Amino acid sequence: MKHLDVNFCRKQFPALTGEWVYFDNAGGTQVTRQVGSRFLDYLYHTNVQLGASYDISQQSVERLNQARQAVCEFVNAGDPAEIVFGSSATQLLQNLSKSLVQTFQPGDEVIVTNCDHETNIGPWMAMKSAGIVVKSWNINQESLKLDLEDLEKLMTERTRLVAFTHASNILGTINPVKKISRFIHDRNAMVCVDGVAYAPHRNIDLQDLDVDFYVFSFYKVYGPHYSVLYCRKEILGELPGINHFFIGKDELPYKLQPGNINFELSYSLLGITDYFREVFLHHEGAAGEAMHQISKQMFSIIADHEEEIAVPLISFLREKEGIRIIGEDTASKEIRVPTISFVSEKMRSDDIPVLVDPHKIGIRYGDFYARRLIEDLGLSEKNGVVRVSMVHYNAMHEVNRLIEILDNIL
């Protein structure tokens, strides 16, 4: 079994040459040098409007097509036309909701969860104004998991869409998306998955997951503040557009990208795939594989490393008197990502990070826009949870340093 060369990976992130330890990665990861290079290269050499006859404009079009193709391959979508770019996951789902609701009828039903980021709840709740019935699929209060038995009780022949998360940004729990999607499709409803908290940690294979919509943010996957929404082509082709009235229904994915995409951010996404190719070459000695195969192999190694560095922190929190882990108390890569939340019996959650700050380690407290979950778990009075969110560029010595500091604080 190959081990991740963390030192090699860290050298690809300019921010990691500084003094700070970054354990707030679920809020946003650091950016690879390859992303920065692509961003500047676009602005310096092809920063023109698309669609003109002159050469530089044609080069710009080709560059953006390359970026869309690269993202398509990275997540194993079926067609680049299924890749919709936008400013944030929140905005993309708001846009999708505004389009999709036009195909629904009053009395149709949408199901959301109480453990999602508000990104994948709010846009669907807004459908109530069009007469859509919105139901909530709540996690089991004891296991803190989503149970299909509870979903089955909610679904009817009027259910059109079920929205849920791939991994909770509070609990870190990985949901069995493929299994849930099959369950929902068998009942003739569509599936929308928020992959924001999952995408930095694991390979995404959209054709295998068989979802209808999937969204995540690149600024949490080592890239710029930019996001992507996957829309199954058969569905996207039938959706009403929300762009200018003269943008045709068959202009995919442009009809769901009002105002067009951000050119330089789109092109910079190639830097993410550049990074994974370089890391793959370093570990495997060759880089001839397709991008999705590279992603699959590298995220397998990444998952092993993330489990390894999560073990001591979870063990410490589990054994520390007065501390309760919110979510699974295991580091198993099969069960969770290394986004680890906890509360203290003796302290409010907002009291803890400020005591860690002077040691130049960044952690965070709050509800992390999963406010419905925090309220339902009775954690509002604690001011939410303390969250330590790690990714593959974090090293064991950083984890041990945090444990030593928390041991003195808690």
pLDDT at position 168: 98
> Is residue 1 over pLDDT 70?
no
Q: Are 126 and 97 in contact (CB under 8 A)?
A: yes
Residue 147: pLDDT band by 50, 70, 90 thresholds? very high
What is the pLDDT confidence band of residue 142, given thresholds at 50, 70 and 90? very high
pLDDT at 125: 98
Cβ atoms of 59 and 188 within 8 Å: the answer is: no
Distance of CA 132 to the CA centre of its chain: 27
The per-residue pLDDT for 289 is 84
Statement: residue 407 has pLDDT above 70: yes
The model's pTM: 0.97
Q: What is the mean pLDDT of residues 143-157?
A: 97
Provide the residue count of the chain.
410
The whole-number average pLDDT for the span 165-180 is 98
Q: Where are the domains of the chain?
A: 6-31+291-409, 36-272
Per-residue pLDDT at 2: 84
pLDDT for 180 equals 98
CA distance 387 to 303: 19
Q: Check residue 126 and report its DSSP letter.
A: G
Fold classification of 36-272 is: Aspartate Aminotransferase; domain 2 (3.40.640)
pLDDT at 144 over 90: yes
> By C-alpha distance, which of 393, 398, 329 is closest to 363?
398
211 phi/psi in degrees, rounded to 5:
-95, 165
Query: Which pLDDT does position 404 carry in this prediction?
Result: 98
pLDDT of 340 above 80? yes
- Cβ atoms of residues 44 and 239 within 8 Å: no
Q: Is 6-31+291-409's fold the same as 36-272's? A: no
Query: Tens digit of pLDDT for each residue in 249-278?
Result: 999 999 999 999 999 999 999 999 999 999
Residue 106 clears pLDDT 70, i.e. is over it? yes
pLDDT score at 288: 74
Average pLDDT over residues 347-352: 98
Given CATH 1.10.10.60, say whether it is the number of domain 6-31+291-409: no
What are 202-213's pLDDT values in tens digits?
A: 999 999 999 999
User: Coil, strand, or helix at residue 327?
Assistant: coil
Do residues 23 and 361 touch, judged by C-beta distance below 8 A? yes
Q: What percent of the chain has pLDDT over 90?
A: 98
Percent of the chain with pLDDT over 70: 100
The pLDDT of 60-66, averaged and rounded, is 97
Q: pLDDT category, 169, cuts 50, 70, 90?
A: very high
* Tens of pLDDT, residues 24-58: 999 999 999 999 999 999 999 999 999 999 999 99
The pLDDT value recorded for residue 213 is 98
Count Cα atoms within 13 angstroms, Cβ side, for 379.
Answer: 27
Average pLDDT, the chain: 97
pLDDT at 103 over 90: yes
Which band of pLDDT confidence, cut at 50, 70 and 90, is reported for residue 285? confident
* C-alpha to C-alpha distance for 295 and 280, rounded to whole angstroms: 9
